[in-house]
Amino acid sequence: MGQDCSDLAEKVSARLQSGGRLTVLTGAGISAESGVATFRDLGGLWEQYRVEDLASPEGFARNPGVVYDFYNMRRAQLKRIEPNPGHRALAALERQLGAGFTLVTQNVDDLHERAGSQRVLHMHGELRKARCQACGAIQVWPGDLDALSHCGQCKAQSLRPHIVWFGEMPLYMEEQIPASLDAEIFMSIGTSGQVYPAAGFVGLARANGALTLEINLMTAEHSQQFQHSIYGKAGEVLPRLLAEITALL
Ligand code: BV8
């Protein structure tokens, strides 16, 4: 079992009180209680679809229609889901900590924003945006996307989902994410730690002297790299843990 909340809240709040910054990394697990399928859990997306056909530039080049449809289906799902208490607890913590708080997410849904988070670093892109392959313009795209969709900037019919596929460079890797890994506390929530470079962040944070904490449903690929862990549903653990932390500030 993971660690007791109160003991951990004391350790985290002590670092925050001395000016420490907190960086949070979220994965599909934080959206699971909102009804969003994760990737590698039982019945997850990668059990239903071949990842190399759907989340790779080669798969998109081979069969763009299938990839457009896959992301159109997931984008349409956003209208039917709501943020959960885990998303809301993180938004409240951002309001409390201000610039000392950085949220990096591997998720492409918009639940962090809809829960009130203001600054979200979507390192794997966003479902609700399209990117033009001709001029590079990134634009909000709430509806279906296909090969005939026109870029709002250059009008070319060359839009793709604004998603980082396997083999592509994740976003914010030049400075914002490396800077965030210099924080005094690194908290990972709901990720199986199988996808790089995100899975390597805990090692970088630890090397920088951070207190590292994992919140997960069960131990994951990289769990042994965390100094502390709490196992349970993010929607239940986060509100309790973050309330205990902020009560000590
Ligand atoms: C890169 C967008 C170079 C698509 C995604 C060999 C060949 C080719 C490549 C590689 C290779 N070896 C390594 C690589 C690199 C590759 C990689 O890591 N592959 C892995 C699979 C081996 N990575 C890349 O290609 C990346 N790019 O490396 O470029 C580079 C590197 C560094 C610097 C510059 C350049 C690009 C990776 C991004 C790929 N795109 N998604 C889409 O979303 O459709 S990845 C995909 O996986 C999602 O983004 C997802 O977020 C991410 C990680 O998955 P998780 O979020 O962890 O979700 P998962 O289902 O796995 O786990 C859920 C967890 O939640 C579980 O632990 C579960 O227990 C828990 N949970 C469930 N319910 C709850 C819960 N926890 C709490 N509460 C709950 N209720």
Atom of ligand 1 nearest to the CA of 218: 69
pLDDT, position 1: 40
Provide the b/e sequence for 124-160 (b: ≥16 CB within 10 Å): bbbbbbbbbeeeeeeeebeeebeeebebeeeeeeebb
Q: Are 70 and 79 in contact (CB under 8 A)?
A: no
pLDDT at 3: 59
List, as own/partner pairs, every contact residues 60-64 make where C-beta atoms lie below 8 angstroms and the sequence separation is at least 24, other chains included: 60/160, 60/165, 64/147
> What tens-digit pLDDT sequence spans the chain (249 residues)?
455 788 999 999 999 999 999 999 999 999 999 998 877 777 777 777 788 789 999 999 999 999 999 999 999 999 999 999 999 999 999 999 999 999 999 999 999 999 999 999 999 999 999 999 999 999 999 999 999 999 999 999 999 999 999 999 999 999 999 999 999 999 999 999 999 999 999 999 999 999 999 999 999 888 999 999 999 999 999 999 999 999 999
Q: Which CATH number fits the domain 37-80+125-163, given the four candidates 3.30.1600.10, 3.40.50.10490, 3.40.640.10, 3.40.50.1370? A: 3.30.1600.10
Task: Tell me the C-alpha distance between 183 and 206, whole Å.
Answer: 10
Ligand 1 pocket member 195 (CB < 6 A): yes
Numbered ranges of CATH 3.30.1600.10 in the chain:
37-80+125-163
Report whether residue 216 contacts ligand 1, using a CB cutoff of 6 Å: yes
Catalytic choice (87, 112, 122, 124): 124
pTM metric for this prediction:
0.96
Ligand 1 atom nearest residue 40's Cα: 60
Q: Retrieve residue 77's tokens.
A: 């799902």
CA of 40 from ligand 1 middle (Å) equals 9
**Residue 164 CB–ligand 1 contact under 6 Å:** yes
Any atom of ligand 1 within 6 Å of the Cβ of 108 = yes
Both ends of the chain: CA-CA distance in Å?
A: 27
- Ligand 1 contact, 124 CB (< 6 A): yes
- The Å distance, Cα 194 to ligand 1 centre, comes to 6
pLDDT at 49: 78
Domain with CATH 3.40.50.1220 in the chain: 5-35+82-124+170-247
Among protein residues, the one whose CA lies closest to atom 74 of ligand 1: 29
Extract the tokens encoding 130: 């399209």
Quick check: CB of 8 below 6 Å from ligand 1? no
124 catalytically annotated? yes
How many angstroms does the Cα of residue 192 sit away from the middle of ligand 1?
8
Q: Which CATH class is domain 5-35+82-124+170-247?
A: alpha beta
